[in-house]
Structure 1
Amino acid sequence: MSETKPTSAPRYRPLTFGVTRIAAREGDGGTRYIKADQPLGDYAARITDRFLHWAQTVPERSFLARRTRQADGSTGDWQHLSYGQALASARALGQALLDRGLSVDRPVVILSENGLEHAQLALGCLYAGIPYCPASPAYCLVSQDYDKLRHILHTLTPGLVFATDAARYGKAILAAVGADVEVVLHEGSLEGRPTTSLASLLATAPTAQVDAAMQATGPDTISKFLFTSGSTKMPKAVVNTH
């Protein structure tokens, strides 16, 4: 069967949606093609680009903040992390991760609710070009069999697992994380299991290697793995890129 080639280029007609002008044309089988009526402007090549911009422009400005919690359950003062501090910690943590040879085949798994330490480690991963996975805290704190956590660890084969609090996450770590995987903790320790403190990673002196690793990342670099909810079957890993 021979193909019929178009005798002229497809013609678009202008349309306006709010303040955005687009051009549209009809295709075969009811397909409709649209394109912007203006060229794409400049955009960041990686997630860390805008972070670096503000860290260099307003390093003292607060980037993240949280309320401290008192022993009686009341909230205390705000704890701030400036853009400059966040960049410094990202470079230090990124260097520590590179020193451990972590990669897409040996990523970082984070067992933590949202928090400053979680954010700092995530930024360190992004800066160094090492993927990470923020695993759902429920797989550690609600689950009693840890099957979904084991599934995530088996799927990703992490080289490092981080948890904010040994008291809350220790039972899950001891049950599911292999002895050959380094465990980093922000608070506490695990009986019978060697661990590394987050403070020691933050004390790592960054080198030109970590800055080169950041520059080597691009739009197609894997930034993290997000797992589906697993409400019907085991969670599935979704790859996120810069």
Structure 2
Amino acid sequence: MNQPLPPAAALFATPAVKVTHRDDGATLVQNPIPLEPYARCVGEYLEYWAEHAPDRPFMLERSPAGLWVGVTYRQALDKVHRIGSWLLKLGLRPGQPVCVLSDNQVNHGVLMLAAMHVGIPYSGISPAYSLLSQDHAKLKNLVQRINPGVIYVGGAGRFKAALRAIDGLHGAQLVVADEDELPNAEALHFSDMLVEADMAAVHKAYAAITPDTVAKILFTSGSTGYPKGWSTRSACCVPVFRPSDRSGRFWPNSRRCCLIGCPGITRLGAIIISTLFWAMAARFILMVASRFPACSTPRSTTCAKWLPRCI
């Protein structure tokens, strides 16, 4: 049964936005809250909670039987190390991102964190380009532009047409969920990435990450043509995981976990439920990242109508 919602102040920092309207018609949006120390990359938070709250749930999703299944912080970090080792062994370069076509899933989230943990960019492509499009024009365009080194699809049966459409347009290693049938002889199952952990290689790659390392490649909605992409640095990803004050609000919080695929929000005092597509959540990051001087991503004046509600 749903519990009463706690006051908003218990979940979010107090809004603080300075809006300046210039004579030339531009609108400047600034956050007056001073910059506090922040992590080098998102992986620092995962490692922290894997040490301090190893057995607490991190990401959960509904199983076919209706049960909550997923990973704790310790299990997530172990998989991140193993997948990161596999990605490094594959020889991926920064210019060969890990691309995910499917919806929010625990495997999706773990793979995203693993790529970012070893300095390989991640890019999530809206499932609509695979499942709703008839000609897959936007999907084809994005795959050719991204030039991915790995493509992951969970629930590959629904993506058969999309995978056929991009066949021959990339040289990526295709990975599908363990319960999926392999679409071709070269494809792998998700568990094939979990065979071993080369901790020396992972630690070396992780140590080389800087705030300027490209973490994600994000795309606009494509409502005015093909989606437009931009690189998002590690410094820009950190704000959504780092509270804007020292109250502990926002993830990471050892009392909270991310539940995937929920129709609403319940038990907010203990749990945060995410219904955002991972890539969409990163677009939210880009809007709030303007509070961090270390983030040089160009600010758009269109953020003016969103920022007061987002922060």
TM-score (norm 1): 0.79
Q: Is the 8 A contact 2:119 2:209 kept in 1?
A: yes
Percent of matched pairs sharing the same residue: 34
Determine whether 1:185 maps to 2:176.
yes
CA-to-partner distance for each residue in 1:151-170, whole Å, 9 max, x for gaps?
11111111111101220112
Correspondence for 1:54: 49
Correspondence for 1:200: 192
CA-to-partner distance for each residue in 1:165-192, whole Å, 9 max, x for gaps?
2201122112214363211111323455
Indicate which of 203, 223, 243 corresponds to 1:211: 203
CA distance in structure 2 between the aligned counterparts of 1:101 and 1:218, rounded to whole angstroms: 20
Correspondence for 1:107: 97
- Higher normalized strand content (fraction of residues): 1
CA distance in structure 1 between the aligned counterparts of 2:107 and 2:157, rounded to whole angstroms: 16
Correspondence for 1:7: none
Q: How far 1:37 moved relative to its partner?
A: 8.9
CA distance in structure 2 between the aligned counterparts of 1:133 and 1:68, rounded to whole angstroms: 25
Q: Is the 8 A contact 1:103 1:131 kept in 2?
A: no
Q: Is the 8 A contact 1:170 1:190 kept in 2?
A: no
SS state at 1:214 partner: helix
- Identify the range of structure 1 (180-189 vs 97-106) with the bigger mean alpha-carbon deviation: 180-189
Distance 1:219 1:37, change over 3 A: closer
CA-to-partner distance for each residue in 1:131-152, whole Å, 9 max, x for gaps?
0111000011111111111111
CA distance in structure 2 between the aligned counterparts of 1:148 and 1:19, rounded to whole angstroms: 37
Indicate which of 131, 136, 146 corresponds to 1:146: 136
Determine whether 1:67 maps to 2:66.
no
Correspondence for 1:234: 226
Distance 1:213 1:139, change over 3 A: same
Structure 1 consecutive aligned stretches of length 4 or more whose deviation exceeds 3 Å = 34-38, 190-193
- Give the root-mean-square deviation of aligned CA atoms: 2.8
CA distance in structure 2 between the aligned counterparts of 1:47 and 1:37, rounded to whole angstroms: 21
Indicate which of 106, 130, 144 corresponds to 2:120: 130
* Number of aligned residues: 214
Q: Is the 8 A contact 2:140 2:166 kept in 1?
A: yes
Distance 1:103 1:168, change over 3 A: same
Q: How far 1:53 moved relative to its partner?
A: 0.8
SS state at 2:154 partner: strand
What are the ranges of 5 or more consecutive residues in structure 2 without an aligned counterpart? 1-13, 19-23, 235-311
What are the ranges of 5 or more consecutive residues in structure 1 without an aligned counterpart? 1-17, 23-28, 71-75
SS state at 2:67 partner: strand
CA distance in structure 2 between the aligned counterparts of 1:63 and 1:45, rounded to whole angstroms: 21
SS state at 2:223 partner: coil
Distance 1:53 1:37, change over 3 A: closer
Q: Is the 8 A contact 1:107 1:159 kept in 2?
A: yes
Q: Which has the higher contact order (CA 8 A, sep 6+)?
A: 2
CA-to-partner distance for each residue in 1:90-129, whole Å, 9 max, x for gaps?
0100110111111221111101100101011001101111
Correspondence for 1:97: 87
